[in-house]
Structure 1
Amino acid sequence: MTMELPVVLVLWFVFSLTVITNGDETIDLPPCDYSAIYNFGDSNSDTGGLAAALYPEGPPSGETYFKMPAGRASDGRLIIDFIADNLGKPYLSGYLDSIGSSYGQGANFATGGATIQRVNESWFQNGVSPFPLEIQVEHYTQFKDRSAYFYKETKDECLRKRLPNPDGLSKALFTLDIGQNDVAFGIRSLSLEQQKTAIINVVSQFISQIRVLYERGARAFWVHNTGPIGCLPVTHAKVKDPLPGYLDEIGCVKDQNDVALLFNQQLKVEIVKLRAELTNATLVYVDMYAAKYELISQAKNQGFEDRFEICCGYHGIDYDVWCGNKGNVNGTEVYAGSCANPSAVISWDGVHYTEAANRWIANRIMNGSLSDPMVPISRACHKQMPVS
């Protein structure tokens, strides 16, 4: 006797699969059942780490969604928040934030100003975080070991719910979004030839930390490359009477973007090599640069104002008044408050993106169309994936 599945259940199963073509081969990928999300990065994905460890962002940050400062360099949510939404997970608590945090379905080790490279004392004067990627990975290791101990030892069910089940580690998604500060530091302090050498070393350190995460149980990696630094409004605001060729066709500083592209090219090469080494891992390389450049170049077609508009802050050739601060602009004291409509502006403070821009970028990357392999984030745990 055979049992037939209900029609509704059959249809649900069929349409829950993602069908990907690899040459003549068709691969069906069911949704991944991620146990948690663990994120590593800089201010582009910091949800409260640096604010808890050092000085928090003040008003008007957080005004759009959280209605108060929420440890994010934006008026609202970041790309990592929209990723969590997409995967049915709560917003990630910063590992360094002990107040009101829950880590049952993930944790965020990112901190604003973080680099891939190890830092020294002089870097701190340039706003670099004391928590580079190596330290973030060490924080993860401490978190993994200590949470596993307390999860097994405690009889407090409320505490257990706030901690990850150690048996689900291999089913977690590990997201990494870091490198922008390394590239920016090189642009400020090194010649072009020195930057090329530095990029090789920086990417090598990046790859070595992915190896460490793999050795400590990570299996599914979603790795963002770095964005178009030369398109940041704070960079554009410093340009005066540029020579021909200094800016690209949309007004971005071409040399700075070229360095970011060199970093991305090297990162992709090394990720491809790493796939052959870490045979039980899935490594998805995500072209964040392409997504951000597309948004910036098509700003008005996508419902945004001028691509170099800044919502909160004043920046010029010889002055910077950062969001939420007072300062002097051409002899007049000003307060850098929020613009009237942040949802119509791409840049929040000249460096970071508004919630509206972060939502646009997240939607652009999560479907996998800008990834290698071209797989949506909801299916990024599968080993059998086509690679471009």
Structure 2
Amino acid sequence: MAIFSRVVIPLKITLIILTTTLIFSPSAISSAFTPKKFKKIYAFGDSYTDTGNTHSATGPSSFNYVSNPPYGNTFFHHPTNRYSDGRLVIDFVAESLSLPFLPPYRDPKADRTYGVNFAVAGSTAIRHRFFVKNNITLNVTPQSLQTQLTWFNRFLESKGCVNSTTTPQQCEALFSDALFWVGEIGANDYAYSFASSVSPNTIQRLATRSFTGFLQALLNKGAKYVLVQGLPPTGCLTLSMYLAPDTDRDDMGCVESANKHSILHNSIIQAKLDSFRKQFPQTVIVYADYWNAYSTVVRNANKYGFKEVFKSCCGAGGGNLNFEVFSTCGSPSASSCPDPSQYINWDGVHLTEAMYKTIASMFLNGTYCKPPFSYLLAKKQ
């Protein structure tokens, strides 16, 4: 996901939320639910959810060192092409359901028995051709939600599922026990078009239309249990703080203009989800409120164990932000802080494992899912 930048730097943002007063351990999250409620997960989104579909050679410019240390150092102890020092929210979700970590779709040797991750770092909601048409191609990752849907269709066909009419048994086997996890996406659309001739209102209209069209396609195919993440407060990311003037701030100390885009984007998505619930009454659709979860942590950082709200753990330059556009995490001139668990932000755009863990707990055990995640589990037959 991305923010907005005077040099159009693709960022990748995705999600975060919490509401509990405790920082749950992985074992606490894992034991909270009955094992094997779901037998598989299908995940979509951008870098906040990508578990390896992107690596340094294909990642967005400026954040193209994801295959280098210190990425992955906290948990995996080596880079896994996740944009963090460790696990992401989707990893904690898999653990909570007693499932293995989701393999990236682009790994042809991966075991897809328990699901697949189609998320791509830098991915947009709007199709790539829109950016090409408007001469907005600098640093733009070519994959979009449409790409991920195409990959998903290919996966279904490889398993013998053409559609629910002609191959009902094959499709039922793939859908009945599957959780569809739609990670945050859309922030890159706003970031890539910053300072272009395309207005933010146009991006908002097209991005939300593309996103809801993607959801409609999943529902039409037969998705029964769907969780949809909203955008986090993108104005609270280190890169946003770095690029925006000091006069552009809200009551959290974040970039007000960027956060306003996220708020309106989320409201449009939530209204559409209400419509989908009426259209598909047998489907459980949950909204994960990334915005309020993340902002709750920002406003109560000490309570959640964080000492640095805006400063990136891995970066260069020191100061209040420790961020330089051309010396991002993993590059030769960048370095990592000694204790990432005290930081919300990992590399200027993406979050630390500690923050993802906190958000995951807020989604799974807290009040930041509407309806609660426990309701989705209870409805699972």
- 1:88 paired residue among 78, 84, 98: 98
* 2:228 match: secondary structure: strand
Q: Does 1:279 align with 2:281?
A: yes
Q: Which has the higher contact order (CA 8 A, sep 6+)?
A: 2
Cα distance change, pair 318–90 in 1 and its aligned pair in 2 (3 A): closer
- 2:271 paired residue among 269, 272, 278: 269
What one-letter code is carried by the residue in structure 1 that aligns with 2:112?
A: Y
What one-letter code is carried by the residue in structure 1 that aligns with 2:282?
A: N
Residues in 2 aligned to 1:219 and 1:208: alpha-carbon distance in whole angstroms: 17
Residues in 1 aligned to 2:127 and 2:211: alpha-carbon distance in whole angstroms: 11
Residues in 2 aligned to 1:64 and 1:137: alpha-carbon distance in whole angstroms: 32
Q: Confirm or deny: 8 A CA contact 1:187 1:256 kept in the other structure.
A: no
Residues in 1 aligned to 2:358 and 2:373: alpha-carbon distance in whole angstroms: 18
Cα distance change, pair 294–206 in 1 and its aligned pair in 2 (3 A): same
Q: TM-score, normalised by structure 2?
A: 0.79
Q: Confirm or deny: 8 A CA contact 1:148 1:166 kept in the other structure.
A: no
Residues 87-236 of structure 1 mapped to structure 2, 5 A cutoff: 87-99=97-109, 101-120=110-129, 121=132, 122-126=135-139, 128-148=140-160, 167-177=173-183, 178-189=185-196, 194-236=199-241
Q: Confirm or deny: 8 A CA contact 1:220 1:281 kept in the other structure.
A: yes
Residues in 2 aligned to 1:318 and 1:134: alpha-carbon distance in whole angstroms: 32
Deviations 1:132-154 (A, max 9, x none): 111101101110110338xxxxx
Q: Confirm or deny: 8 A CA contact 1:32 1:378 kept in the other structure.
A: no
Residues in 2 aligned to 1:381 and 1:118: alpha-carbon distance in whole angstroms: 34
- 1:349 paired residue among 328, 347, 350: 347
Q: Post-superposition shift, 1:187?
A: 4.4
Count of residues in correspondence between the two structures: 327
Please name the residue that 2:165 is paired with: none
- 1:371 paired residue among 362, 369, 372: 369
Q: Post-superposition shift, 1:218?
A: 1.5
Q: Confirm or deny: 8 A CA contact 1:141 1:216 kept in the other structure.
A: no
Residues in 2 aligned to 1:68 and 1:199: alpha-carbon distance in whole angstroms: 37
Q: Confirm or deny: 8 A CA contact 2:189 2:203 kept in the other structure.
A: no
Please name the residue that 2:14 is paired with: none
Deviations 1:335-367 (A, max 9, x none): 112111111111110100011111011101112
Q: TM-score, normalised by structure 1?
A: 0.77
- 1:58 paired residue among 68, 76, 98: 68
Gaps of 5+ in 1: 1-17, 19-28, 150-163, 327-334, 384-388
Residues 35-54 of structure 1 mapped to structure 2, 5 A cutoff: 35-51=39-55, 54=58
Greater mean deviation of Cα atoms: 113-122 or 82-91: 113-122
Q: Post-superposition shift, 1:92?
A: 0.2
Q: Post-superposition shift, 1:198?
A: 2.8
Cα distance change, pair 185–124 in 1 and its aligned pair in 2 (3 A): closer
What one-letter code is carried by the residue in structure 2 that aligns with 1:360?
A: T
Gaps of 5+ in 2: 1-31, 60-65, 162-169
